[in-house]
Chains A and B, each alone.
Chain A
Amino acid sequence: DGGITQSPKYLFRKEGQNVTLSCEQNLNHDAMYWYRQDPGQGLRLIYYSQIVNDFQKGDIAEGYSVSREKKESFPLTVTSAQKNPTAFYLCASSPAAGNEQFFGPGTRLTVL
């Protein structure tokens, strides 16, 4: 069953803590993306990766970090430097950059 999985579905964090969101795909896609969605706003790109061991900042990368050590995995770390981390986080992948993107089910992060 091919697709994109994100875990956990819900995540609660205390202020000052770093947390890591998981994104895995078995579609053999080269490109992967992280977006943030806030109420009343469109999705905003945090980071993207076109190939293993390479990634670029998106529009709102401050306070976030990523790694791409495997083609299948693109974890996102929300650091304590992110001022307003409460949001819905969506991971996506595409066969190559610029192609049709497919999304995972999302992780809702709440800072307590």
Chain B
Amino acid sequence: KQEVTQIPAALSVPEGENLVLNCSFTDSAIYNLQWFRQDPGKGLTSLLLIQSSQREQTSGRLNASLDKSSGRSTLYIAASQPGDSATYLCAVSNFGNEKLTFGTGTRLTIIP
């Protein structure tokens, strides 16, 4: 059974700093991995999708990497801004299983 872990549960950093969020998973036979952002009381916004054959994806100030062999993904946020404050969730899908397994998220606070 796939399990997804995100540590730390909460993180605070000063504005302007670069930061890394971590995601680990127990079953390396993944189909893809998705990073989401969730603002309080809102739905999820898809940030990046990495296919199992890829090692990284970039969108603006965001860069996500994937290392299947070690069961890890990171989300790098460059030059953080107060608007980046939100909860970030990662989720993985496995081959032959259409569902996403979610981590519990990292609540990020950017301090102005």
Binding site for B on A (CB under 8 A): 4, 6, 31, 33, 40-45, 48, 50, 58-59, 88, 90, 92, 97-98, 100-106, 108
Contact = CB atoms under 8 A, between A and B. Distances in A.
Given A92-B44, A98-B93, A108-B41, 18 more contacts: A4-B43, A31-B98, A33-B99, A40-B104, A42-B101, A42-B102, A43-B89, A43-B100, A44-B102, A48-B99, A100-B34, A101-B34, A101-B100, A103-B44, A103-B45, A104-B43, A105-B42, A105-B43
A108 to B, nearest CB: 8
Contacts of A6: 43
Interface in B11-36: 31-32, 34, 36
Interface of B: 4, 31-32, 34, 36, 41-46, 49, 89, 91, 93, 98-105
A59 B2 CA distance: 12
B98 A50 contact: yes
A98 B32 contact: yes
28 contacts: A4-B43, A6-B43, A31-B98, A33-B99, A41-B104, A42-B4, A42-B101, A42-B104, A42-B105, A43-B89, A43-B100, A43-B102, A45-B100, A58-B99, A59-B99, A88-B41, A92-B44, A98-B93, A100-B49, A101-B100, A102-B46, A103-B36, A103-B46, A104-B43, A105-B42, A106-B41, A106-B43, A108-B41
